[in-house]
Amino acid sequence: MTKHLTGVRITRGMMVRTAPVLALLLSAAGCAVPAAPAAVPPASGSPAPSAQPTRAVGAPHPARATSSAPPASLSAVGDQVVVIGDSLSTGYGTSADDAWPTLLENDSKLGNHPVDIVNASVNGSGYVTAGDGGATFMSEVDEAVGPAAKVVLIFGSENDMGADADQLRKAAADTLAAARAKAPDAKIIVVGPPSYTNDPEPARLTVRDQDRAAAQEAGDAYVDPIDEHWIMGQADTLIGPDGDHPSEDGQRYLQQKMEALLEAALS
């Protein structure tokens, strides 16, 4: 800011440096020496200067403070898991909300591996047997599996009991090959049909054997619920009133079993 005196433009610095000279001239002329100019207030509308806060040595500069929380756009995206299956995976006998794939997605204990479940299961389907809408495990793969899948988990199916063994084996092999083609980097886990008794029917064992052979030929992981005694001895609480489909407790049981498989696959 500038101030003006008798037509001479004088800046603040000039006023300080010329003050002694002006005093002598004014004194010689018999004039009173004016008091030192008061501090000039800021112009209307201009912000008043404010004192800068002090900070301790070593403290971060306020403008550089950072947050340890990642921005929302960088939040982790769950690993995609595609479930191919039958009514044991749809919640039939309970509800879709109680189905083990839904429970696994909503209440996963996978820690660093949150999961995004795509449940393509259809009631009544199998590798050979067509379920609702004519769906088979192959059509479920065609519809749901893509390059984003980290794991393709195929569960079942007792619906293929009675099918020709060679036809079943080929259908299983073709389904696994299709899943591999659609998701080249995914891990494929084949889970055979469970038995609720210690004396499974021969037809059930045939399904187990053909599914296992196809998985082994493809180099995919195979899990045998019969050999591992899933549900056996606990059917009174884990299987619902129809004697075939899991109860709510049974769905939670399957959730725990599948969660262990996925944790191993994603680690």
> Would you state the pLDDT for residue 196?
96
122 burial via Cβ count (<10 Å: 0-12, 13-18, 19+)? buried
Judge residue 215's burial from the number of C-beta atoms within 10 Å of its C-beta, 0-12 exposed, 13-18 middle, 19 or more buried: buried
Q: Is the pLDDT at 10 greater than 80, yes or no?
A: no
pLDDT of residue 111: 62
DSSP letter string, 177-225: HHHHHH-TT-EEEEE----SSSS--HHHHHHHHHHHHHHHHHT-EEE-T
pLDDT digits (tens, 9 = 90+) for 46-78: 444 444 443 333 334 333 333 333 333 333 568
pLDDT band at 108 (very low <50, low <70, confident <90, very high): low
Average pLDDT over residues 179-199: 97
The domain limits of the chain are 80-266
Point out the least confidently predicted range of 27-31, 98-102, 193-197: 27-31
SS3 58: coil
Global confidence as pTM: 0.71
User: What are 266's two structure tokens?
Assistant: 């994603």
**Helix, strand, coil percent values for the chain (each to nearest 5):** 40, 15, 50
pLDDT at 161: 98
The CATH homologous superfamily to which domain 80-266 belongs is: SGNH hydrolase (3.40.50.1110)
Of residues 156 and 73, the one with the higher pLDDT is 156
d(CA 170, CA 138): 12
The angle at the Cα of 120, spanning 114 to 122, to the nearest 5 degrees, equals 140
Beta-carbon neighbour count of residue 147 at 10 Å? Answer: 10
Q: Is the pLDDT of residue 37 over 70?
A: no
Over 90: is that where the pLDDT of 13 sits?
no
